[in-house]
Structures are given as C-alpha cells and as structure tokens.
Amino acid sequence: MILQFEPMMTEDCAKAVYDQVSSNWIGFGPRVKEFEDAIAKYVNVNNAIAVSSGTSALMVAMTALGIGLESEVVVPDYSFIAATNVVRFLKAKLILVDINRNTLCLDVERMKEACSKNNVDAVVFINHNGYVGQDLLKVVEYCRENDIKIMEDAACALGQWYNGKHAGTFGDIGCFSFSVPKVITTGQGGMIVTDDGDLALKCRKIIDQGSVTWRKDGYHVGVGLNFKFNEILAALGLAQLKNLDRIFAMRRTNYNRFINRGLNLHYYPAEINNGPWMNILLDVNAKKLMEKLAKHDIQSRMYYRPIHQSMGIFSYNYPEADRVYENTLYLPSSFSLKSEDIDYICEVIQNG
C-alpha cells in the first residue's frame, strides 16, 4: 500500500523524545521556550507562542483579537472546519466566502463584496497548500485600509516565503499546526506568531488560566484556559526542525517528478521553492479516480467538504468551492515517496 501521507520520524526524533522523558522534565519548561524561539527566528517574527494544537492556536489568536458575540468574521468556504468552528464557538457571525479556483484560497473580489455588505471585524486567510502570493497581499492591503483585523491560518505553510515575508506573518497574527500531516509534526501542537507584543501577551495569558504571573503572585485577574505546550512535544519539534532542509528537498523532488510525468498539480512556488504541502491533482473526477487508485493499493483522498456542505447548508453561493471539492484529488505526499512509487501512481492515473 502506498499511503497518502506518513510523517518523517528519524532516529534523532526518537532520541530527542527519549532524552526528554528520561530527564523527568515533561511539562512546560525551557524546551518549549527554545522551540518558540526557533520558530520565531525561522519565520522572522518577534513573538511565537506554542500551544496544544493548531485549532488551539486559532482559538487563542481570535480571542486575543477580541472576536466575540458582536463580531463578524470572513472565512473561506474551502478549508478545514477548524477556523469556522472557532468563530462559531466564540458566538461570532460566520461569513463564508468562495475561493479562487487557481489559488484554492480566499477570492479577493468576493471577500471585498462580503465586507462591503457586512460590518466585518476580521478576515481569516487560509494559506491552502502553502500559498503565499499577490492575492494575500491584496487581502492584507484591503483589510489595512478598512480597519479589519487579519489572521493567517498558515497550518500547512511552514517554509513558504513571499516578498521577503514568511507565511503567517503578513497579518496581525498567524497560526501554524504541527499535527501529523503537516510540514513538521509533534503529533499535535500549534504555534501563534505575531510582531505585536500586546497581542502576544494576551495570548500567553489566555493559554495559562488568564495570567502569566499566577504561579508567583497567585492572582487570576484575567480569564484563560490551559492550551500550553510541553517539553516532550518541544523536544520532538526541535528535532523535526533539523530535518527541514531534507523535507523540502524531498518535496521538491517528488513534486517535480509528478510534473515531469505530465500530471497537473497545484502549486504556487514563491520566492523559495520548498515544494507544496500536498500533491494536489487538479481537474479530475476525484471520487472516481480515488476508487480506481484504491484498487491498485494507492491511498488518496478528496479534501474536506466545503464548509457550507459540511454544515448541511444547501447553497449555490460557493460554486468554486463545490467544483474544486469534486475535481481535485490529494495524491500520496509522504516525504519518503520513492521514485518508483510516483512512476506507478502516474502509470495508474494515465493508463490504468
């Protein structure tokens, strides 16, 4: 079986986890700070806050931005449900907007139209498949001009740069995920990044029961929960970071081999071509092809349903999200894919 995805777990990763467990320091501590500093340095921001998951990162970031009962938030319809669930959990008004079929990200003109018809407080830009480019810049420019907060859900965009900036750092605040299928993984985990010191402090209070000093003074003046990271995950994350160059090299190689075999894959290489997050095949009957590949022991998947569909809403307002869902297939994208695996996949798709 050729799996759709499996993470890169090296002996160094296993040793890092073993050493951390052996140290008996497994809660929150200096390793977490080291991992935060490493991510902050890599993406070139002033503040990075590690949390328990990518969804936790979105929850904390939106809360820090002041999103709540009276807020209105734009989210792209073609995306994982996490950002939508956070908006709904915080009792804000969800405004779904269709995507651009080329970028698979928020459609700029449709976003502007939605903002003109609503009192929008924040826009969530999801860097799907690692996208950073002109559309992101246009969204940021529009939001700045109209006093709208912008949060990047850069869950799968580690390593993607544009105009000298890293994905997740274009808006007011950005979020990364370290769940299993992401660029690097700690099993679960997330990171919030921002250059705004006040926002960063709010985030640190929210993730630790509303205070950054309660262990010293005993006071919980603010309200928060427990979204903290831990030393074991941080040790694994630091070991994973050491594999980044190798991971990106493998992604580029695999992507190029698919392309050279004539497949039409989605990717917008920015300033540094670190390869796409997933090998996404465009303009196919996704369900039919997925069934065909399965018969040849090749695992693939359709992406998550558009948000309006997953919420049980029947609507013609999101034609691009509907079309992309039906006509794109996520091919095997493990970093360790062998050249003969890729050749076999292409053979089945083109001739099988």
For residue range 207-232, list pLDDT tens digits in order.
999 999 999 999 999 999 999 999 99
Tens digit of each residue's pLDDT (9 = 90 or more) over 52-79: 999 999 999 999 999 999 999 999 999 9
**270 pLDDT band (50/70/90 cuts)?**
low
Mean pLDDT, residues 242-251: 94
If asked whether residues 20 and 160 sit together in one domain, one would say yes
If asked whether residues 224 and 261 sit together in one domain, one would say no
Domain boundary residue, one of 198, 219, 241? 241
Position 271 pLDDT exceeds 70: no
Mean pLDDT, residues 270-282: 85
Extract the runs of DSSP E, i.e. beta strands, from the chain: 47-51, 72-76, 93-97, 122-126, 149-153, 161-162, 165-166, 173-177, 190-194, 279-281, 329-331
Tens digit of each residue's pLDDT (9 = 90 or more) over 341-352: 999 999 999 996
Domain boundary residue, one of 241, 259, 274? 241
* Contact in structure between 297 and 1 (CB atoms under 8 Å): yes
DSSP-derived letter for residue 262 is: T
**140 pLDDT band (50/70/90 cuts)?**
very high
If asked whether residues 210 and 249 sit together in one domain, one would say no
Please report whether residue 44 resides in a domain. yes
If asked whether residues 207 and 294 sit together in one domain, one would say no
Please report whether residue 115 resides in a domain. yes
Q: How high is the pLDDT of residue 169?
A: 98
Higher-confidence position of 274 and 193 = 193
If asked whether residues 135 and 176 sit together in one domain, one would say yes
Position 272 pLDDT exceeds 80: no
If asked whether residues 282 and 162 sit together in one domain, one would say no
Please report whether residue 3 resides in a domain. no
Q: Output the domain CATH number for residue 272.
A: 3.90.1150.10
Q: Output the domain CATH number for residue 208.
A: 3.40.640.10
Please report whether residue 2 resides in a domain. no
If asked whether residues 346 and 204 sit together in one domain, one would say no
At residue 27, φ and ψ (nearest 5 deg) are -85, -145
Domain boundary residue, one of 226, 241, 256? 241
If asked whether residues 251 and 218 sit together in one domain, one would say no
Q: How high is the pLDDT of residue 267?
A: 82
Q: How high is the pLDDT of residue 269?
A: 63
Q: How high is the pLDDT of residue 352?
A: 65
CA gap 18, 52 in Å, rounded: 20
If asked whether residues 42 and 120 sit together in one domain, one would say yes
Please report whether residue 128 resides in a domain. yes
Of the candidate ranges 16-25, 187-196, 244-253, 264-273, the one whose mean pLDDT is the lowest: 264-273
Position 273 pLDDT exceeds 80: no
Q: How high is the pLDDT of residue 11?
A: 97
Residue 189: exposed, middle, or buried by beta-carbon count in 10 A (0-12, 13-18, 19+)? Answer: buried
What is the end-to-end Cα distance of the chain in Å, rounded? 16
If asked whether residues 51 and 122 sit together in one domain, one would say yes
CA gap 271, 23 in Å, rounded: 41
Give the Cα-Cα-Cα angle 187, 229, 156 (nearest 5 degrees).
50
- Per the listing, tokens 């092809």 go with 289
Please report whether residue 194 resides in a domain. yes
Give the Cα-Cα-Cα angle 303, 305, 311 (nearest 5 degrees).
155
Tens digit of each residue's pLDDT (9 = 90 or more) over 70-109: 999 999 999 999 999 999 999 999 999 999 999 999 999 9
Q: How high is the pLDDT of residue 121?
A: 98
If asked whether residues 228 and 83 sit together in one domain, one would say yes
Across the chain, what does the average pLDDT equal?
A: 96
At residue 300, φ and ψ (nearest 5 deg) are -140, 175
Work out how many domains the chain is built from and give that number: 2
Q: Amino acid identity, residue 218?
A: G
If asked whether residues 138 and 263 sit together in one domain, one would say no
Contacts of 231 (CB under 8 A, 6+ apart): 20, 23, 25, 26, 27, 28, 29, 30, 31, 32
Kindly report the length of the chain: 352
For residue 148, give the 3-state DSSP assignment.
Answer: coil
Which structural domain range is residue 198 located in?
Answer: 11-241
Please report whether residue 337 resides in a domain. yes
Please report whether residue 195 resides in a domain. yes
